[in-house]
A and B are shown apart, each in its own frame.
Chain A
Amino acid sequence: MAKTFDFTVNGKPITVTLDNEETPLLDVLRNELGLMGTRFGCGLEQCGCCMALIDGQPEKCCAKPVWSAAGKSITTVEGLGTPALPHPLQQAFLDEQAGQCGYCLSGILISAKALLAKNPSPTRAEIALALDGNICRCGSHNRILRAVEKAAAVMRGIHP
């Protein structure tokens, strides 16, 4: 009964074979592909820890069946940047020391990336609203907002 699913993950074509097509995409990323950056928070699409970009849209992956992502292009936090070549968002989060435990940060980076793609110069209120689907329990909100503002400014400079 095994089924095969093709998609692109962080720019690379990927094929996975699974017994159950209802397997959540998050489990495929973490347990089949070993991409641990996308975190499990609730399994209920409530907290945003598990967000990835699917065809450019920020989506919660914890309850999304793998079949629904077949043929699509998925970007996870590992696809944003590397320590040697960080994405401006990652650099801004480092600059602002934006985080405490860090468990929510992967999802927040994904939400922020999607926001800046749509709106390169968001106000702080617009950033906050865009991040309302991501829960931060440690209280690093204001640092995170500052970091996204900073990254937006940097990215406007790079791509005027």
Chain B
Amino acid sequence: MNALPGPLNDNPRLDLWVSFAETGKVVVNTGRVELGQGVLTAMAQIASDELDVDMASVMVRSGVTDNMPNEGYTAGSQSIQMGGQAMAQACADVRALFLEQAAKAIGCNANELTVRGGKFLRNGALSGQDYWTLNGAVDLAVNATGRGQRKAIGERAHIGRNDARTDLPGKLFGEPVFIHDMRLAGMKHARVVRQPNKDATIGAIDEAAIRRAAKGDIAFVRSGDFLAIVGDDEPAVERAGAAAVNHVTWTNVEMPTPLQQEANWLVQRPVIDCLLGSPEPSDAQGRERFEATYSRGYLAHASISPSCGLAEYRDGHLTVWTHCQGVFPLRGALARMLKLDAKAITVHHVQGSGCYGHNGADDATADAAVIAMQMPGTPIRIRWRREEEFVHEPKSPAMLVKVRALLDADGKPSDWTAEIWSGNHNGRPGGGNALLAGYALPDQEPFPQANDVPEAAGGGATRNADPLYDIADKRIIHHMVTETPVRVSALRGLGAMPNVFALECAIDELAGRAGVDPVAYRLSITSDPRARAVIEKVAVMSNWQANASGGAGRGRGIAFSRYKNRAAYAAIIVDLEVDEEIRLHRIWCATDGGLIVNPDGAINQLEGGVIQSASWVLKEQVRLDGGTASFDWETYPVLKFSEVPMIDIVLINPTNSDVPLGVGEATAGPTAAAIGNAVSHALGIRLRDLPLTRERIMAALLQE
């Protein structure tokens, strides 16, 4: 008997996962939601193989708080690693129960039976029994046991195959697949007059001016410092929402300054300290010392669509529709905020645009719910304005990372310290944190103190700060900054990107000191064979020339990490050109993600991570200047089509494994560091602060 995968252990009843109510159809329930990563297709592939049913007969239900496994958040590259394994074992257990029942019904031994297309075959011949004939006789209201035999390598028909995404056609034919496209009978549109910061209180409201700007009928809904505009005509509500910014005064408004947008502002702030590993030695014992400081500013998720949410309160029951990453945690947060019993709330996931973490989705849903509670029987739809999403979505915290290493006689690190200053990476409502509306509503319970993701869950600011290399003594000194100038939370990879940037740039600097080629240097301190394999593979893919001289504005850099030190391995090489700005020419990536359910889907995610990280590194930082000064695509530019390089991605042994490792966030860190290393190779100078903007490059060149 196998230990049950975590989500199956948490939700062991098999009827939560699989049902055969409709003849010829299998409904499987996953607690993971579709965020554009193709997870529902992958779940159908898994269910199809583990149940031996046709993929076309599998219907995947997802993201609702009724009759659904509670898998928390769809996050952390864990949907296949955890959720997929749970789905697979649930299906295997169900198949085993049906095989036992089929054997009884047929009067044979279960080992004489096989399943094909949902039909039970006895010694290869149709037995007349299938999942649906047996459905009444098999009780799935039982707990999983882990006794169901999973499909072995070579027995899989769909796992490991590039099945086409089931969600993509609707998106290409303009179908109303997004939450933004939902329209409910009698629905009203709404916009919130957003509280500028959590302690701000409403002063005066010039309702007449807002009504004039609306040029249509609107009404106001208010609760404490929560103020919203509601009406039937969306353009009128939109105009009113935009105008209201200038016609409502607030007191206790915070005015963050440009100084606060920089990572070095974090040092000397109030912190909660934590040491992971052995204390740092005070005596270098004759070893050479290396020290360098790396940083990154605040990032926005910058989802392509502003957040949207719908809510209806009718007959004492609140129903909401959301594009957030976790319907159960949101239900709990709504119950706390609205003082409702969680049983009186149903949360449905509907697709939105890519979120890459905790964006405004939960908050927009909460806005709609607050308004709906005041207007029983009227469905409310809220869609944030573009500016609102940029300004009020939680940001990925700025981070400052000091690396200190002691080097042995060969110039290899024998002692490693990563000292980190960062806000917390988990402001999600599931942790008891506020939904944005909660800061404005009266009579709210106090919100908990900021708390980062624990190490056991992969860490937040500390994620990937621990080098996978062979280093005798290592530690992380974590200073969690408790108050940040902007609200902070989870963005793709959490601290992995700044930490891998720091660590892998430092490794390159050490290779340079030792006079050893960066690829050879990494291999000389790497024992893990899978880590070696991706580094060696990407070097071959890119035709890496050892000790190639850079300079003259052309450079090449490598970086490696294993995401969370326990998910996918990824090595990246970047070719680029720098004069005043960086032009990416080509990027190669070798990844070992263990078992890959859908290789094309995995490559799409890995490549998306490369491009998003390149955008972060080249362009992105949230500006603060009397408020959040990054409020649209001109003040927060991202990488454009013409700036995206060619990218080659190779998966190592994608089907020759039973254990998926989680790939969705694996490339973000090493891409950032490989770009940093290539820039250094091209210019002969080291830039340690992200983003690598034209201003920073020019300043560094002038200093030379």
Are B235 and A90 in contact (CB-based, < 8 A)? no
| Chain A CB within 8 A of B124 CB | no
Q: Does any Cβ of B come within 8 Å of A138's Cβ?
A: yes
Give the complex CA separation of A106 and B164 in angstroms. Answer: 19
Q: Chain B residues with Cβ under 8 A from A36's Cβ?
A: 174-176, 178, 180-181
Q: State the majority secondary structure of interface residues on A.
A: loop
A132 to B638, CA, bound (A): 11
Nearest CB on B from A83, distance (A): 6
Across the interface, do B37 and A100 meet the contact criterion of CB distance under 8 Å? yes
Determine how close the nearest CB of chain B comes to the CB of A132; give it in whole angstroms.
5
Closest to A24 in B: B235
Q: A122-155: contact bitstring with B at CB < 8 Å (1 yes, 0 no)?
A: 0001011101101111111111110000000000
- Chain A residue with minimal CB distance to B646? A142
Shortest B123–chain A CB gap in Å is 40
Contact for B235 among A23, A99, A135, CB less than 8 A? A23
Task: Report how far A106 CA is from B638 CA in the complex, Å.
Answer: 19
The answer to whether B22 has its CB under 8 Å from any CB of chain A is: no
User: How far apart sit A131 and B169, CA to CA, in the bound complex (Å)?
Assistant: 21
Q: A129 with B642: in contact, given A101-B35, A137-B302 (CB under 8 Å)?
A: yes
CB <8 Å contact, B173 and A40: no
Question: Once the chains bind, are B641 and A100 in contact (CB under 8 Å)?
Answer: no
Please give the distance in Å from B235's CB to the nearest CB on chain A: 5
Q: Mark A75-95, 1 if CB is under 8 A from B, else 0.
A: 011101111001000100110
Report how far A14 CA is from B609 CA in the complex, Å.
Answer: 43
Taking CB atoms, residues of chain B closer than 8 Å to A78 are 173-174
Chain A contacts for B627, CB-based, 8 A: none
Considering only residues 476-516 of chain B, those with a C-beta below 8 Å from chain A are none
Known contacts A142-B607, A145-B641: does B178 contact A39 (CB below 8 Å)?
yes
Those of B635-658 within 8 Å (CB) of chain A:
638-642, 644, 646-647
- Are B304 and A136 closer than 8 Å at their CB atoms? yes
Query: Which range contains the number of B residues in contact with the other chain?
Result: 35 or more
A38 to B180, CA, bound (A): 11
Q: With a CB–CB cut-off of 8 A, which chain A residues contact B386?
A: 41-44
Q: Contact check, B644 vs A142: say whether CB atoms are below 8 A apart.
A: yes
**Are A103 and B383 in contact, with the CB atoms below 8 A?**
no
Q: Which of B162, B174, B303, B608 contacts A37 (CB 8 A)?
A: B174
Task: Assess whether A46 is in contact with B632, with CB atoms less than 8 Å apart.
Answer: yes
CB atoms of B604 and A100 under 8 A apart = yes
Nearest CB on A from B601, distance (A): 8
**A97 CA / B37 CA spacing, docked (Å):** 11
- Decide yes or no whether A35 CB sits under 8 A from chain B: yes
Complex interface: chain B residues within 8 A of A135 (CB): 304, 633, 638, 640
Q: Are A40 and B175 neighbours in the complex by a CB distance under 8 Å?
A: no
Evaluate contact between A137 and B353: CB separation under 8 angstroms. yes
> A83-B173, A137-B304 known; A97 and B234 CB under 8 Å?
no
Per-position 1/0 for A39-70, Cβ under 8 A of B = 11111101101000000000000000000000
Contact call B36/A42, Cβ cutoff below 8 A: no
In the bound complex, do residue A20 and residue B215 qualify as a contact, i.e. CB atoms below 8 Å apart? yes
- Interface SS of chain B: helix, strand, loop or mixed? loop
Decide yes or no whether B634 CB sits under 8 A from chain A. Answer: yes
Q: How far is the CB of A103 from chain B (nearest CB, A)?
A: 4
Proximity bits, B12-35, A CB within 8 Å = 1, else 0? 000000000000000000000001
Task: Give the complex CA separation of A24 and B611 in angstroms.
Answer: 33
CA distance in complex: A99, B354 (Å) = 11
**What's the minimum C-beta distance from A159 to chain B, rounded to whole angstroms?**
21
What's the Cα separation between A105 and B36 when bound, in Å?
12
- What mask results when residues 292 to 322 of chain B are scored 1 for a CB within 8 Å of chain A, else 0? 0000000000111110000000000000000
Given A42-B386, A46-B633, A100-B604, residue A139 in contact with residue B642 (CB < 8 A): no
**A23 CA to B235 CA in the complex, in Å?**
6
Q: Report how far A80 CA is from B173 CA in the complex, Å.
A: 8
Residues of A within 8 Å of B233, CB to CB, are 19
Separation in Å of the A12 CB from the closest CB of chain B?
15
- Chain B residues whose CB sits within 8 angstroms of the CB of A136 once the complex forms: 304, 641
Q: How far is the CA of A99 from the CA of B169 in the complex (A)?
A: 10
Residues of A within 8 A of B356 (CB): 137
**Which residue of B177, B601, B639 contacts A102 across the interface (Cβ within 8 Å)?**
B177
CB distance from A118 to the nearest CB of B (A): 17
With the chains together, A21 CA to B234 CA distance in Å?
14
Partner of B173, one of A44, A46, A86, A143: A86
Known contacts A23-B235, A36-B181, A141-B641; A102/B634 CB under 8 A: no
Check: A9 CB closer than 8 A to any chain B CB.
no
Cα distance A97–B641 in the bound complex, in angstroms: 17
A109 and B171 CA atoms in complex are apart in Å by 11
A108 and chain B: residue at smallest CB distance: B641
Q: Are B354 and A137 in contact (CB under 8 A)?
A: yes
Across the interface, do B178 and A77 meet the contact criterion of CB distance under 8 Å?
no
Chain A residues with Cβ below 8 Å from B610 are: 139
* Cβ–Cβ contact A103 & B353, under 8 A: yes
Residues of A within 8 A of B171 (CB): 99, 101-103, 105
Q: How far is the CA of A131 from the CA of B644 in the complex (A)?
A: 12
**Bound-state Cα–Cα, A24 to B233, Å:** 12
Q: With an 8 A cutoff between CB atoms, is B473 at the interface?
A: no
Over the window 17-31 of chain A, the binary record of Cβ atoms lying under 8 Å from chain B Cβ atoms (1 yes, 0 no) is 001101110010011
Query: B611 to chain A: which residues have CB within 8 Å?
Result: 139, 141
Q: Does A99 lie within 8 Å of B168, measured CB to CB?
A: yes
Chain B residues near A132 (CB-CB < 8 A): 640-642
Interface set, chain B 591-620, CB cutoff 8 A to A: 600-601, 604-605, 607-612
In the bound complex, what is the Cα–Cα distance between A31 and B181 (angstroms)? 9
Q: A41 near B304 (CB under 8 angstroms)?
A: yes
Task: Give every chain B residue within 8 A of A47 (Cβ-Cβ).
Answer: 304, 633
Q: A102-B171, A139-B607 are in contact. Are A42 and B177 (CB under 8 A)?
A: no
Determine if B632 and A40 form an interchain contact, defined as CB atoms under 8 angstroms apart.
Answer: no
CB contact between A137 and one of B176, B236, B612, B634 (< 8 Å): that residue: B612
Contact of A140 among B303, B352, B604, B634 (CB under 8 A): B604
Assess whether A109 is in contact with B172, with CB atoms less than 8 Å apart. yes
- Once A36-B175, A103-B353 are accepted as A-B contacts, the answer to whether A97 and B305 lie under 8 Å apart by CB is no
Given contact pairs A100-B605, A103-B353, A136-B641, a sample of 16 additional A-B residue pairs in the complex whose CB atoms are under 8 Å apart: A31-B234, A31-B235, A35-B174, A41-B304, A41-B386, A82-B173, A101-B304, A102-B171, A102-B172, A103-B352, A104-B353, A127-B641, A132-B641, A137-B302, A137-B356, A139-B608
Give 10 CB contacts A-B under 8 Å: A34-B183, A37-B174, A43-B238, A46-B633, A97-B601, A103-B352, A138-B612, A140-B604, A142-B644, A145-B641
B residues contacting A by CB (< 8 A) are 35-38, 162, 164-165, 167-178, 180-181, 183, 215-216, 233-236, 238, 302-306, 351-354, 356, 383, 385-386, 600-601, 604-605, 607-612, 632-634, 638-642, 644, 646-647
